[in-house]
Structure 1
Amino acid sequence: MSLLSAVHDGALAAGVASLLYAGTVTTAALTALLAPSPARRRAGREVLTILLRRGGSR
């Protein structure tokens, strides 16, 4: 396997992971907005809080 092939495979894997993460965030956001019960909307907001947590001091 050449170096160029390895870089390509890594970039492809990173792209797939990014799409999976975006799909997860979108699903959680839709759940937080459209869930029929307040408890499920609250749970959706909590998941979004966890997924979108920014780096920095913790």
Structure 2
Amino acid sequence: MMQTMYELVVHRRFERLLGGGRIPLYHQVKDTMTKISFFQHCVKYSLLFPPESMS
């Protein structure tokens, strides 16, 4: 499955693939953030952690 997602990213010339598997550290903020807002934060802040930085 991951190989297929990789091929799709290459074929469509995407810059990156977000998701597709487990979401590391999301469990720490799941009560306060949606998955989409978590991904947006990760892209905007280049994965700044700890989760206290996610407000």
Q: Determine which structure has more spread, i.e. the larger CA radius of gyration.
A: 1
Compute the TM-score of the two structures, normalised by the length of structure 2: 0.27
Q: Which has the higher helix share?
A: 1
TM-score normalised by L of structure 1: 0.26
